Amino acid sequence: MGKEIILSPSLLSVDFAHIADGIKELDRAEVPALHLDVMDGAFVPNISFGAPVIKCLRKETNMIFDVHLMVEEPVRYIDDFKKAGADWVTVHAECCKHLHRTITAIKEAGMKAGVALNPATPVSVIDYVLDEVDMVLVMSVNPGFGGQSFIPSSLRKIVEVRKLIDERNLDVRIEVDGGVNLKNVGEVIKSGADVIVAGSAVFNGDIYENSTKFMEKFRERGSDGAER
């Protein structure tokens, strides 16, 4: 049997005046992970939040903290995110002078390591680190903002990454981030993804209801044998 498909809602679309309430709703819907977008205003045009905020949120929930670092040279902050309670840390291949060293540092700190690819970055960039990572994050929008539309060529990239992982018989997850909603999530999973990020599709409206719908969709796929 394949792996359980994980929903990881992006906190970027939460009402920041009521973050803890949003997290409570996700817990109520039994959502397994929380996607935390850290933006530095340099790699991406936007600034979001950093390790101190994540440390405060850690007291609110036991969900997997799935930290997406959109930060130049993230190797400088690995220990900060470990101390803040991160479980998974994903860095952009485009941001690291020494990608292999950065991945090693994340794992040595006791966290799962992910590598992210912008929409224009080819899969070949991660060829020599694929055996080292726990997850590949395929960006299906240009990073920096929530609420953008899914870029269709991302599906082809997911298929390509899945092929590499399966050919090498690796235990590596594929996370897809950007513009995923209830309409396109089926295709995203079919292409090979098993960690689904959804920001606006979860938080714009009733968080509990939207998360529950996503979770139901995953369970349906599990029971019809389509689980990865």
Ligand X SMILES: O=C(CO)[C@H](O)[C@H](O)COP(=O)(O)O
* Contact residues: ligand X, CB under 6 A: 10, 12-13, 35, 37, 68, 70, 141, 143-148, 177-180, 197-201
CA separation for the pair 173, 64 (Å, rounded): 14
Name the 3-class secondary structure at 139: strand
Q: Is 175 in the site for Fe ion (CB under 5 A)?
A: no
Q: Which is nearer to Fe ion, 25 or 175 (CB)?
A: 175
Tell me if 68 is assigned to a ligand binding site: yes
CA separation for the pair 104, 95 (Å, rounded): 15
Subset of 70-109 contacting Fe ion (CB under 5 A): none
Subset of 177-216 contacting Fe ion (CB under 5 A): 177
Q: Are 11 and 35 in contact (CB under 8 A)?
A: yes
Task: Render the burial of 6-31: b for 16+ CB within 10 Å, e for the rest.
Answer: bbbbbbbbbeeeebeebbebbbebeb
Give the catalytic positions in this structure.
37, 177
Tell me if 200 is assigned to a ligand binding site: yes
Report which of 95, 61, 50, 60 is spatially closest to residue 75, judged by C-alpha positions: 95
Subset of 111-150 contacting Fe ion (CB under 5 A): none
141 binds, among Fe ion, ligand X, none (CB under 5 to 8 A by kind): ligand X
Name the 3-class secondary structure at 136: strand
Instruction: Kindly state the smallest distance separating residue 139's Cβ from ligand X, in Å.
Output: 7
Q: Which is nearer to Fe ion, 149 or 219 (CB)?
A: 149
Phi and psi dihedrals of 112, rounded to 5?
-80, 140
Q: Which is nearer to ligand X, 111 or 141 (CB)?
A: 141
Instruction: Kindly state the smallest distance separating residue 12's Cβ from ligand X, in Å.
Output: 5
Residues at the binding site for a divalent metal cation are: 35, 37, 68, 177
Binding residues (CB under 5 A) for Fe ion: these are 37, 68, 177
